[in-house]
Amino acid sequence: MKNIYSLLSFALITLASFGQSKQSEKADNLFESYQYVDAIESYLKLVDKNEADAHVYKHLGDSYYNIFNIDEASKWYAKAIETQQDAETYYRYAQVLKSQGKYELAKDQMDTFSKMVPNDQRAKNHLQNPNYVSELADKSKLYDVEVAKINDSEQSDFGAILSNDDVLYFVSTRNKSTKEDKWTKSSYLDVYKSVRNADGTLSEPEPVKSLNTPYHDGPITLSADGKTMIFARDGHSEGAFKKLKSNQVKLAQQGLYKATLLDGKWDNIQALPFNSVDYSVSHPSLSSDGKTLYFASNMPGGLGDTDIWKVSVNGDSYGEPVNLGSKVNTSGKEGFPFISDNNILYFASSGRQGFGGFDIFKVDLNKGEDAINLGNAVNTKRDDFAFSINEQKEIAYFSSNRSGVDNIYIAVPICHVDIWASITDANSGSSISGANVVLKDSQQNVINDLNSDNNGEAQFNVLCKPDYYISVSKEGYDSMTIPVTGPKKDELTVKFSLNPINEMITETEVKLNNIYFEFNKSNITQQGAFELDKLVKIMNDYPEMNILVKSHTDTKGSAEYNLKLSEERAQSTVQYLISKGVDKDRLSAKGVGSSNPKIDCKSQCTDEEDAQNRRSEFLIIK
């Protein structure tokens, strides 16, 4: 995560005046110029000489925090807060404790932070919901996650973007022959690409030589047609930097650049007009229509250390950057925006309630709702960031240091759908409340069992694609079952119009839907039981009613065979009714085979006509 922190730690860190001493001046100068590794070495020398104080401990904590050495950061923050510190130190200590999975201790530090700056939005969020971790853990799983097989086991790989023509771009420090970043003591970032094959496997990564320089290059974003790229680059490459005279350091910022794909090579590289030597702009994401560019920056006018901004794009012309405001940004760090085809913005944040340092969030920019955490399959107690999704191919990528080094992970969206059952009276059209609504899978296993609300509705949140059945029953009404086949929408309404049960009773019979039997069998099926339960209800409501069950077959088979089969089915039907408490003296059975077809089509019957002839009648004989 060292490279991530160098890319997210855009703002110069201002040293507090108290606690500084002649002894710490050299280390402080290194710290001010982002040379955290050298600063740590210098501060530790003061510790070894017993010349360290709270100032040194705090900046040791900050230095380790900025290169993501969580355990060491925690150690030195613990010593620093033995003396009163500024609020941000308590916040950072809480962050590293969360990254260690020490949520209760982190809560204590957030309590202190919130008392010191109660008007900070992070403090307000904490005070409103201090035990949020358990709630996040209960969120429905949104993705199946696996590690990508292109990662280098020792180097940083992150920021993966899949083009519509199956090229995966990402950035990596795996090129050990490049210069070393003296702030992090690791190789500079280069842009790499890999081809995604039809079976989902990825080819061996190769560097994109036309983009890479001796300094940091990437991460990148692509236009929908894959012919335009906007990418981040270290200002050293363009000679855009400031000289810090105090220690002869050339301090460069991240900037954004545009490239065009010409004859298979990225060329015509141009700096975007809002780059600056005073602040950084990085982590680009271009909307699918190419009209809006999102990015992360610490430019003036933001809410926190780094914010997410947007700018309008018209060819080679760009508008004024606009901050996305508090629906997205906090007083912490926000970065790695990604805008999806359907205008969902994904981003990483350390300023919102999450599982660890950086968590991934999403917000629907069409609705203006608050950002939500992606849950604990994607987010962990470590840093999780750089989420991107290719909607056409239904696959996402994100990055995480959960294994101890920045790696790329594959996230396959788990499709969920809200199914609404809407139940009304078939005659009046009025809503029916209190109806029993049962959701079953394709094997008729009960998944959920609810009652309709005052609006006659019941809601189920289920996975897309499997087949379901919804059965609705209500005293005084004919029950009803409707199949739901492989829903893939976000929301689906299934309408049930129930007939009052008395309308099933005529002067001569009780009308039920056909009782279906399996081929050459006479046992009662789930569907048959559902229909016969209606008759049980009617006979309980009318205790004087006696019923003759009359069973018919189609014309397939011999007359003798059909007569025998129909008698078996009629008897099975009667036995089922008796098993449900109906007095056997009120029931009789008769099989008539194929002798009385509803449709007299003889041997030329269609499948539909045969189905209508295979029927049971429930005749009222008293």
> Where is 56: in which H helix or E strand?
helix 54-66
Tokens of 173: 């420090």
Confidence at residue 9, expressed as pLDDT on a 0 to 100 scale: 45
> Where is 538: in which H helix or E strand?
helix 526-541
Backbone angles phi, psi at 137, to 5 degrees: -65, -25
Q: Measuring CA to CA, which residue among 457, 473, 448, 450 is closest to residue 421?
A: 457
Over the stretch 562-579, which tens digit does the pLDDT of each residue have? 899 889 889 988 988 998
CA 87 to CA 109: how far, in whole Å? 10
Over the stretch 517-555, which tens digit does the pLDDT of each residue have? 776 778 887 778 878 888 998 899 889 999 999 988 888
Q: Are 227 and 264 in contact (CB under 8 A)?
A: no
Spatial neighbors of 140 by CB under 8 A, at least 6 apart, are: 375, 416, 461
Query: Which residue would you say has higher pLDDT here, 345 or 125?
Result: 345
Give the percent of the chain with pLDDT over 90: 46
pLDDT of 365 > 60? The answer is: yes
Tokens of 157: 């790989």
CA 111 to CA 105: how far, in whole Å? 10
Please report the sign of the dihedral spanned by the C-alpha atoms of residue 343, residue 413, residue 359, residue 400.
negative
CA 334 to CA 587: how far, in whole Å? 74
Residue 240 amino acid letter: A
pLDDT of 5 > 60? The answer is: no
> Where is 221: in which H helix or E strand?
strand 217-222
Confidence at residue 20, expressed as pLDDT on a 0 to 100 scale: 53
**pLDDT tier for residue 507 given thresholds of 50, 70 and 90:** confident
Confidence at residue 611, expressed as pLDDT on a 0 to 100 scale: 76
Average confidence score pLDDT of the chain: 86
What is the DSSP track for 390-449? ETTTTEEEEEE-TTSS-EEEEEEE--EEEEEEEEEETTT--B-TT-EEEEEETT--EEEE
**pLDDT tier for residue 432 given thresholds of 50, 70 and 90:** very high
CA distances (Å), origin 31, targets 15, 49, 246, 450, 509: 9, 19, 12, 61, 91
CA distances (Å), origin 504, targets 229, 265, 359, 534, 593: 67, 74, 58, 10, 25
**pLDDT tier for residue 182 given thresholds of 50, 70 and 90:** low
**pLDDT tier for residue 370 given thresholds of 50, 70 and 90:** confident
Over the stretch 254-294, which tens digit does the pLDDT of each residue have? 899 999 999 889 999 999 999 998 899 999 999 999 999 99
Residue carrying the six token digits 């999403």:
362
Least confident interval from 60-74, 119-133, 311-325:
119-133
Over the stretch 131-158, which tens digit does the pLDDT of each residue have? 766 555 545 567 889 999 999 988 999 9
pLDDT of 166 > 90? The answer is: yes
**pLDDT tier for residue 212 given thresholds of 50, 70 and 90:** very high
The length of the chain, given as a count of residues: 622
